[in-house]
Amino acid sequence: MKLSCVIRKQHYQFSSVKDVLAKASEEKSGDQMSRIGAQSALERMAAKVVLSEMLLSDIYENPVIAYEDDEVTRIIYDDLNLTVYNEIKHWTVGELRDYILSRKARMPELTRLSRGLTSEMIAAVAKLMSSIDLVMASQKMRYQAYCNTLIGEPGRLAFRCQPNHPIDDPEGILASIKEGLSYGSGDAVIGINPNNDSVESVTKLLVMSHEFIQRWQIPTQNCVLAHITTQMQALRNGAPISLMFQSLAGSQKANEAFGVSKEILDEGMELMLRYGTATGPNVMYFETGQGSEVSLDSHEGVDMQTLESRTYGFCRHWKPFMVNNVSGFIGPETLYDGRQMIRADLEDLFMGKMHGLPMGIAPTYTNHMYADQNDQEIAGMLTALAGANFYMGVPGGDDVMLSYQDTSYHDDASLREILGLRPLREFEQWLEKMGIMEDGRLTEYAGDLTIFD
């Protein structure tokens, strides 16, 4: 394996696969903070050159965190299809990029290919891809999943209605749910982030959202995004849950900080299949995002993008209904500005799809980051073009509980109109029945929450 190169008469030496991956990453403040990123623009290019010549088998033989030490690595390697891997292990990362972008690689070929790729290989190839490369490759792949609705069909775009309230006031939450539905947002899930994570409080919100869905016969699923163990307890007590949520990361250490492990996820999914209210088989909802490992001091010397890819390798084990990427949620210490945020969103969408996941994107920014609404809308349009399955829907784009900005109910409706996309099939029929939508466009009644009175 070659770990050095000469460009512009300058010799560059790298110490390991992990080092090459980190230095070949596009500039991100989180990798600078961990002191693993490239020190100069040319060093970054040197790392990309070395990476482009690296064999997939070099990457396979050198996982960034050892198999024995890390549960995420074990899941990625144990779930790999070795026949597919053996067919391609002699490829370089550069050849992998050319193949993915070639016309002969359509969705069936890419789906098969993905079974033989470790998460580090997928991260590696994304480091050799530009924005348009990432969009074009993402467009080829569209993965479906079924909970109570079918997500991921071509020509359709779904949204999570995110009706959070600073003190979990059920009436306030209900008002935001109605508002979202009246804009056509809520076919992916009606998902409430609770401020109070207690079992009693979470149960109350689960019952409230479930009853509302039943009353109006809405083809969707409910979810309260508490810690998975809280949801499991609520479920054991008989609370109605159709989708179980958890945030995940790309190292065992970071997942331990989240209070989650393979064992807990296995138990959670088993409980959902036995006691959940959904049709399934996809009953899990995961959130991920570049930088969580850095902020939890558990990056193990691995760059943020590679860790994010490993998170997807971990996620896919539980066949989720939704994987939502929230790169940009943390702050400037991980993604400094709008430019870094947009790049991360494009990389993450591609890497998630390359893992065969039903990916959605939450292009987000916080107020201590150097980004604003314009950056967020650009990221939203680009990832919609690249074929994301879903986005969030937040009233006016302002989450009054989590204190960050995300796509609004207005943005949701706009993204559909810009690209001529429809809501999920069953949900569109429901919107038509309610008089909110006609021929894929909002009617004059849309945007009035009192139609649910």
Residues forming contacts to other proteins in the complex (CB under 8 A) are: 29, 33, 163-167, 169, 171-173, 175-176, 178-179, 183, 195, 197-199, 227, 229-230, 233, 256-259, 294-297, 331-333, 336, 366-368, 372-373, 395-405, 408, 410, 413-414, 417, 442, 444-451, 453
Of 1, 11, 5, 6, which is closest to residue 93 (Cα–Cα)? 1
The CB-of-167 to other proteins minimum distance in angstroms stands at 5
- Kindly report the backbone phi and psi dihedral angles of residue 451, in degrees, each rounded to the nearest multiple of 5, phi listed first: -65, -15
Q: Which is nearer to other proteins, 136 or 175 (CB)?
A: 175
Helix-helix angle 373-385:131-140, to 10 degrees? 40
Residues sharing a CB contact under 8 Å with residue 268, sequence separation 6 or more, in sequence order: 228, 231, 232, 244, 246, 284
Instruction: Name the residue among 100, 111, 112, 104 with its Cα closest to residue 137.
Output: 100
Size of the chain, expressed as the number of residues it contains: 453
Is beta strand 284-288 parallel, antiparallel or unpaired with respect to 322-325? Answer: parallel
| Minimal distance, residue 140 CB to other proteins, in Å | 28
d(CA 336, CA 30): 8
User: In angstroms, rounded to a whole number, what is the distance separating the alpha carbons of residues 152 and 390?
Assistant: 8
Q: Which is nearer to other proteins, 140 or 422 (CB)?
A: 422
Residue 453 CA to residue 437 CA, distance in Å, equals 18
Toward other proteins, which CB reaches closer, 346 or 402?
402
Supply the minimum distance, in Å, between the C-beta of residue 55 and other proteins.
36
**Minimum CB separation from other proteins for residue 158, in Å?**
16
* CA distances for 5 relative to 47, 94, 398, angstroms: 8, 15, 48
Strand partners, 347: none
Q: Specify the residue, 148 or 376, whose C-beta has the smaller distance to other proteins.
A: 376
Comparing CB distances to other proteins, the nearer of 84 and 400 is 400
Least distance to other proteins, CB of residue 348, Å:
22
Nearer to other proteins, 13 or 198 (CB): 198
Dist CA 241 CA 272 (whole Å): 8
What's the min distance (Å) between Cβ of 45 and other proteins?
Answer: 24
CB of residue 315 to other proteins, shortest distance in Å: 19
- Residue closer to other proteins by CB (options 180, 356) is 180
